[in-house]
Structure 1
Amino acid sequence: MVSFYFSDHFPAVSWLDKVSGLLGRLRKNCRELDVFYEQLIDEHLDPARQKSAGRQDIIDLMIQLKDQNASSLDLSWDHIKALRMNLFVAGTDTVAAAVVWAMTGLMLNPAVMKKAQTEIRQFIGEKGQVDEDDIRNLPYLKAVVLETLRLYPPAPLLFRTQILDEDCILDG
């Protein structure tokens, strides 16, 4: 929730956050997220849950660390929920940054924007909406996204990779 909190800038008038209802809404959102992550953990703990053979997600791994006490940290359920929240926030921040850079690049290159719009509009005319699986049917849009990520990587310390001409043997 993005809002102006008086207490962030003027601690002496922090009571205004309470009067305006911002603190109440923030607490409500935090409770809802806590319940959501609690349900996510409960789903992973359910013995009847369908699991893909040999595949674990991050929550499975955190639960395993907690159960085995394999970490020097004494992981609690609140720690697992907080770590999951950090991953969620980190993911939304980088996606938002990538979208901003893509839109900026398109505005600076009207011909590219027009071509991408045309491709999307032609596709939407057939289907009515675009979802993640449709990216393979939108090669120009995919190229725009990949070029944006190449020029403006959301994680600035990612190193560029180089494709080698010769075979590479892993673990060998």
Structure 2
Amino acid sequence: MQHTRYEGRKFEETTIEFKPIFQGKIISLQVDTVRLPNGGTSTREIVKHPGAVAVLALTEDGRMLVVEQYRKALEKSQVEIPAGKLDSGEDPMDAARRELEEETGYQCGSIRLLHSFYTSPGFADEIVHLYLAENLTKGEVNPDEDEFLEIEAITLEEAQRYMAEWRISDAKTITAVYAWQVYQLTGRI
């Protein structure tokens, strides 16, 4: 089935002024003054992000690979599926393969896009491309120098328990768990 992206322009806001506030290593922040559909004006604080990938990696014995790491913004450790930001000009599928191998040491024999979604469209343009990776082969873990991870292969029941305990509480991993559940029930995603 061929999908086309909806380019909705209903209620479009026109940028009158753009004011850069911050340019970081990963994100930038800007404040736009916009003309509203009714002719009025307002301001929008916008976080710009290069996009990211996330990988639902399933082992031959029916487990999902996850990594636990500390998330400073939340001031706690999180259990998440392997994920990371896109490098400039990088193909998302190549990035998904790279992140899977860097964070877990696994390579995949097959990989396919499940869906792409915006994380917080009210203030950010970050898009996450969620992939399903199967036919995994164990290799060497090679995390970024500032990444400290613990890898685990969990069952669907363990994933659901982690969600109930808030060990898994991010949108990409919760989405992956629900996709995995559908996959187990129907054989399709």
Q: TM-score range by the shorter chain?
A: under 0.3
TM-score, normalised by the number of residues in structure 2 = 0.22
- The structure with the largest helix share of the pair is 1
- The structure with the largest strand share of the pair is 2
TM-score, normalised by the number of residues in structure 1 = 0.23
Question: Quick one: higher RCO (CA 8 Å, sep 6+), 1 or 2?
Answer: 2
